[in-house]
Structure 1
Amino acid sequence: MLDASKYYKKKLDEEKLISGIKPLDELLEGFERGVFYMLYDSPQVTASILKTLAVAAQLPVTHGGLNSKVVFVDAQNIFNPYSIGRKAVALGLSATSVLENIQISRAFIFPHLHEIITQNLEETAVINNAKLVLVSGIVPEPNLEMDDIKRMIEIMGVLNRLASVRKKVVVVSNYVALNSDYKPAGGKACQHYPNVIVRILTYEKLLKYRLIKHPSRPPKEVLYFLNEKKERRISNTRKLDYYFNKEKKNKKK
């Protein structure tokens, strides 16, 4: 047996991925290795979170990252290299290097997603020594048939094993089920297998981050009030090519 003080020290020494998203970090205090997370509802918000994590994971451990490559399975068609590049530059990283360190697979139908995850994902994560595995849209189709439910159980089992056995940080995004006002899509498998479930609700002037399930934390809510000021138009900002070209010039010097 492990006494409480040693267990506490062990938890402090474990690597955690800090997202840099204030309400999410307040709710979870970082994404832990060996834990399977599901974020659902508010598709635009969860998409932005996954892209942010893909960049933040490449920061040094001393800066809240994992100093690691990333595997990203995209079933929502959200992966945008320009968006990733901008996030990288904002964190002081090379846009080119960050993109090179992300292994991306796209899936547009559920059987293809099932094939990628059950046949290729674990090997890809291990070969690349990726500590972070992301899946956008774990339930890409709203109505799952009986065969699809069986596939979903297999998918969630693989993701759970990647976290618990391979000690990866696994984060997936999901929708609200069509026949429910609050349950995640995908049936009981999507409620049972993740260790941590967070629902993000969007209102006119705020976001509500709600912790539904956690192995060591009670349910909790964190509110994030949206800035009413309009963001700058993209046309008024520098294009990402500027940063790529700048990197090339610096290398030549």
Structure 2
Amino acid sequence: METGDQVLDRVLAEPLLPTGIGPLDDLLEGGISRTMVTLLIGSAKVNAQILQQFATLAAVRLCQANLTMQKTILYIDGANRFNPYEISRLSINQGVGAKEVLDAIMVSRAFSWSNMVQTVAENLENASAKQIDLLVVSGFTKYFEEMAQTPSTENSPPHLVMKPFEELGKMFAGLKRLQAKFNTRILLSTVPHSKSLRSPAGGTKLKHFANVILRMLPSPRGFTYYLDQHPFLPAKQITVNIPPTGLRDLTHKTLDQFFLNK
């Protein structure tokens, strides 16, 4: 058996994987942990950009370490925003061939709540013969409120009212099995709850499941990143201001260039 202090030391000894997004890595003091589930709350469009950049950098590292025959990255696209051309461009910027990086990323589409439930709750463990080194899920609970708060809910039988919550629990179980099997890093993204910018779609149940919770919201002059929850880091925030004079020149910039106005 281990003491609590020994468990913490083991967690801290696990190397972090940088997201490539400066403010997020600063908040997390390095990047995404392999031992914790990280949840990112924000707009679907910006979340997808962040997840694609993170998945690309992770794939580049696998390619550079010659590990693509043993390990893979799984990208579940519930926001319908995965862009292979963006992945290719980011790969070339990192000095690695686009095809090699794209081959290291497996993509699964989820066009509805039932698609997402089936993929995460039932198919994760057998998605690949290789070790799933990183799982990123874009739009994890994008359709949850639509299922949980339909106009017919008041007149629906109790088992139908509770069904989305039960399915969310099944997805959590699928994520836990994947992490136990492969020691997989997991980054989930979702949109804010319709009634609260601090909570995710999926509500308290999802907040309790995630170990680390990050938010990204527009601020008057740019963006503010929040670390709302972490097992051993304090809540904090970082605001990135974008000079107004450079906005017209940022159309085809990377996220780093966008935030730094390069």
- Normalising by structure 2, we get a TM-score of 0.79
Among 216, 223, 234, which residue is 1:207 paired with?
223
One-letter amino acid of the structure 1 residue matched with residue 138 of structure 2: S
Q: 1:165 to 1:35 in 2, by over 3 A?
A: farther
Among 105, 118, 122, which residue is 2:121 paired with?
118
Deviates more, 1:137-146 or 1:200-209: 137-146
Counting aligned pairs with the same residue, the percent is 29
1:227-251 CA distance string (max 9 Å, x none): 54133655xxxxxxxxxxxxxxxxx
Give the deviation of 1:168 after TM superposition.
Answer: 0.8
Q: Which residue of 2 aligns with 1:105?
A: 108
Which secondary structure state, in structure 2, belongs to the residue aligned with residue 32 of structure 1? coil
Give the deviation of 1:165 after TM superposition.
Answer: 5.4
Alignment partners' CA distance in 1, 2:78 and 2:139: 5
Alignment partners' CA distance in 1, 2:15 and 2:61: 11
Q: 1:90 to 1:204 in 2, by over 3 A?
A: farther
Deviates more, 1:207-216 or 1:221-230: 221-230
Among 146, 151, 158, which residue is 2:167 paired with?
151
Alignment partners' CA distance in 2, 1:5 and 1:159: 25
Q: Which residue of 2 aligns with 1:14?
A: 14
TM alignment of 1:17-166, pairs within 5 A: 17-28=17-28, 29-60=30-61, 68-124=71-127, 127-141=129-143, 142-145=145-148, 146-163=162-179, 166=182
C-alpha contact 2:59 2:105 (8 A) present in aligned 1: no
Deviates more, 1:172-181 or 1:75-84: 172-181
Alignment partners' CA distance in 2, 1:54 and 1:182: 25
Q: 1:154 to 1:83 in 2, by over 3 A?
A: same
C-alpha contact 1:34 1:166 (8 A) present in aligned 2: no
Alignment partners' CA distance in 1, 2:215 and 2:4: 34
Q: 1:164 to 1:204 in 2, by over 3 A?
A: farther
Q: 1:227 to 1:164 in 2, by over 3 A?
A: farther
Alignment partners' CA distance in 2, 1:134 and 1:6: 25
Q: 1:227 to 1:156 in 2, by over 3 A?
A: farther
Alignment partners' CA distance in 1, 2:177 and 2:164: 20
Give the deviation of 1:7 after TM superposition.
Answer: 5.8
Q: 1:158 to 1:6 in 2, by over 3 A?
A: closer
Alignment partners' CA distance in 1, 2:7 and 2:251: 51
Give the deviation of 1:13 after TM superposition.
Answer: 4.4
Structure 1: gaps of 5 or more residues: 235-253
Deviates more, 1:139-148 or 1:103-112: 139-148
Among 163, 169, 188, which residue is 2:204 paired with?
188
Give the deviation of 1:12 after TM superposition.
Answer: 5.8
Which secondary structure state, in structure 1, belongs to the residue aligned with residue 179 of structure 2? helix
1:48-87 CA distance string (max 9 Å, x none): 11001111112338x99x9752101111101010011111
1:114-136 CA distance string (max 9 Å, x none): 111111112225x2212100111
- Normalising by structure 1, we get a TM-score of 0.81
Q: 1:54 to 1:227 in 2, by over 3 A?
A: farther
Q: Which residue of 2 aligns with 1:223?
A: 239
C-alpha contact 1:41 1:176 (8 A) present in aligned 2: yes
Give the deviation of 1:170 after TM superposition.
Answer: 0.4
Structure 2: gaps of 5 or more residues: 149-161, 253-262
